Structure formats: structure tokens, C-alpha cells
Amino acid sequence: MNEFNFLSPPQIATKITDACHKKCKIPMKKFFVLAILAGAFIGFGTELYIMVVHDIPSRLGVGFAKFLGGSVFSVGLMLVVIAGSELFTGDNLIVIAALQRKIRWSELFKAWGIVYAGNFIGSMIIVIMMFYSGLWAADGATVGATAVNIANAKVHLTFLQAMMRGIGCNWLVCLAVWMAMSAKDIIGKIFAIYFPIMAFVASGFEHSVANMTFIPYGILLKNIPKVANAIGKPLSAFAQLNWGTFALRNLVPVTIGNIIGGAFFVGVIYWYVYLKKEKTAFETN
């Protein structure tokens, strides 16, 4: 029996395998609802990030702004893990259950498809809610201007840049989920989540589900005159900020990167280290 108030890595691997097996047995309608909730929860973290950082760089510097932004954004994954919902990036760890033959590969890909779609719907609910809330007009619409600038920067990444940033992001996100699974109390889970999430946001990595809020929010806000005035740039400067570039120049490469970072660098590697059975000398002869 583990005398400490947390699980060891091999115990985490076993617990995650069982948890992911159970995920794939949830009725798909309920699984889809949980995915919508996760998209909304990450959307709350995204909106909070924009509100908090909109005026910090000019006062305290870019680095400190990123640190504070990452700190508040972490509330999104705290809601996902502790309140309960299904997030695509965290569910990349379901690959462990497939490797352990607890579920079929078809079940894995079905779960990923459903959770991805549900996350998008949840994200768009927050985008619409925040757009019509008018909160973007705060501080002379500089909040809205910040949202547009963030979204515009994201669609100007190269495919390779977006993918690499996606790898870094979900490597850390899945480590946050992994460590939160180790903790046996709420405070332990909060700290396990906070540091890796703060690290990925402060580093500038890319999260596919967060971008389902960041970029659509910017697309909707860029045509508002108050926001355009706060930005101080002509609308032509944001011609590349549209639904096509959102999908092709950000969402596709970031999603690929997220899968590599989470499913491979955490799921596959930890499965190999802690769960894969090695053949004995007798079995190989």
C-alpha cells in the first residue's frame, strides 16, 4: 500500500488505463454532452486569459503578462478534471487503453471524433456568449483588440510552427492530467494542473480546443468599429483572419501536434515504460 498521498507513476498508468476504458463505455450521447462542457470550460479559461492580459504587457512586460495569463488560464483544465468533462487533448491518453487492448482502436478514434466535435460546440457557445455580452468593449475596447491581435497572430504561424507548438502544448497538458490522476485530494489536483498549464501558456504553445475560442472570437470582433479603432490598424491588416485560415493554418496543424504531444510523448511512452509486458528468455526461445 502506498503510504503517500499520491500514486506512483506505474499506479497512475494502471489507473489511467482503467479510466480510459470506462470513458469508452459511457453512452455516446452523455459522452458528447461532457465534451460540450469541456469546450465551454476551456473557453472560460480563454476568455479570462484575454481579460487579464489585455493591458499587462505595456505595464509589466510581455513575460509577466504570459505568466499571469497562463496562471488564470489553468482554471479551464481544473474545471475539466475536477468538475468532470471530456477534453480532446486530455483524451489523447485513451491511446493507453487501446495499446493495452482494453478497447478497440475503432473505439479510440470514435471517442476522439465525438469529443472533438463536442469541444468545438462548447467553445462556440462561449464565443457567442462573450460576443453578445459586450465585455470586449471594456477599457476602451482594448480587450476586444487584444482578442483580435491574438487570433490574428495564430493564423499567421507556419504549418511547422503551429504543429511544433501543438506538440509542446499537449505534452504538458497530458502531463497535467497524468499528475492530477496521481493526487488523492483536491489541492493536490489543483497544483498538479496549475504548473504544467501555466508553463504551456506562458511558453506560447498552441492548444487546439483553446483556439476554438481564441480565433472565432477574434474573427467576430475584427469587424466591430470600436475594436478596429482600439487596434489602430486598417481592417486589411486582418484579411488572413477568417474561417478558412482558422481551420487550415491553425486548427489542422495544432491538432496534429496535440495528438503527437499527448498520445505519443505521454501515452505511448509511459505505456511502454510501465505497462508493456516484456517477453522472458523462455518465451523468446
Assign domain 9-273 to its CATH superfamily: Glycerol uptake facilitator protein. (1.20.1080.10)
**Distance separating alpha carbons of residues 203 and 168, to the nearest angstrom:** 9
So where are the chain's domains?
9-273
- CA pair distance 96, 18, nearest whole angstrom: 9
CA–CA separation, 58 vs 79, rounded Å? 30
Residue 233 has a pLDDT of: 85
pLDDT tens sequence for the chain (285 residues) = 456 778 899 999 999 999 999 999 999 999 999 999 999 999 999 999 999 999 888 888 899 999 999 999 999 999 999 999 999 999 999 999 999 999 999 999 999 999 999 999 999 999 999 999 999 999 999 999 999 999 999 999 999 999 999 999 999 999 999 999 999 899 999 999 999 999 999 999 999 999 999 999 999 999 999 999 999 888 888 999 999 999 999 999 999 999 999 999 999 999 999 998 866 555 554
Q: How would DSSP label each residue in 198-252?
A: HHHHHHT---HHHHHHHHHHHHHHTT-HHHHHHHTS-GGGGTT-SHHHIIIIIIH
Closest alpha carbon to 176 in 65, 251, 76: 76
Give the pLDDT score at 234. Answer: 84
Q: What is the chain's alpha carbon radius of gyration, rounded to the nearest angstrom?
A: 20
